[in-house]
Amino acid sequence: MNKFEYLRKQMIDYQLVARGLRDQTVLNAVSAVLREKFIPTDLVEFAYSDSPLPIAASQTISQPYIVALMTAALELKPDERVLEVGTGSGYAAAVLAEIAKEVYTIERHKILANTARKRLEELGYKNIQVLYGDGTLGWPEHAPFDAIVVAAGGPNVPETLKQQMAIGGRLVIPVGASLHAQRLVRVRRISEEESTTTLIKRGLSSA
């Protein structure tokens, strides 16, 4: 076992399982993704630390626990198609791609979109498509989606994303006026006009 394999196992045991995350499908997916490949070279020693880390364009790669929690909240099945809003480094897209059939991910920063696309291709992910654009508009050409996950939310759930969910689809998004006040929620589309909202977690500023 090399250093990163050891750190990855420690991360799963002490950051995910110890916090109550027991979804074996998600744990297996996180275990399969080499997080160190998504971290800037000068920060690679911190790849499995229990915190977000800075990447290009003044953005961050999310804390491993938050990625795992949001993935678990999606309740993904192997034959499903997922839309991710906010590609960032591409790490969360890789975790999703370990479970879902197809992943469509949108990034508003061109440098991040291009870097993530190249990185994911090099790592052999053939079921991920990366789009440079405004994620709040979704990706209508590929809708409807069985699941949608939004990396950085806002005060409301965008109606455009709701409309791109399949019936029975799930949308996981942080909602709130500020990071400290945000709640992670899951919106489930029941019918054309009806959806339900479930609280997953209060406060995402420090999990």
Q: What is the pLDDT of residue 204?
A: 66
Average pLDDT, the chain: 94
In the block, tokens 């006009």 appear at 193
Q: What is the pLDDT of residue 179?
A: 64
**3 state DSSP class of 20:** coil
Number of Cα atoms under 13 Å in the Cβ half of residue 15: 23
Model pLDDT for residues 6-61, shown as the tens digit of each residue: 999 999 999 999 999 999 999 999 999 999 999 999 999 999 999 999 999 999 99
Q: What is the pLDDT of residue 44?
A: 95
Q: Provide the phi-psi class of 68: left if phi over 0, else alpha when psi is between -120 and 50, else beta.
A: alpha
> Hey, which residues are catalytic here?
62
Model pLDDT for residues 88-128, shown as the tens digit of each residue: 999 999 999 999 999 999 999 999 999 999 999 999 999 99
Q: What is the pLDDT of residue 176?
A: 87
Q: Which CATH class is domain 3-202?
A: alpha beta
Angle between helices 24-32 and 3-11 (to 10 degrees): 160
> CA 12, CA 202: separation in Å to the nearest integer?
22
Q: Where are the domains of the chain?
A: 3-202
CA-closest candidate to residue 131, choices 110, 152, 149: 110
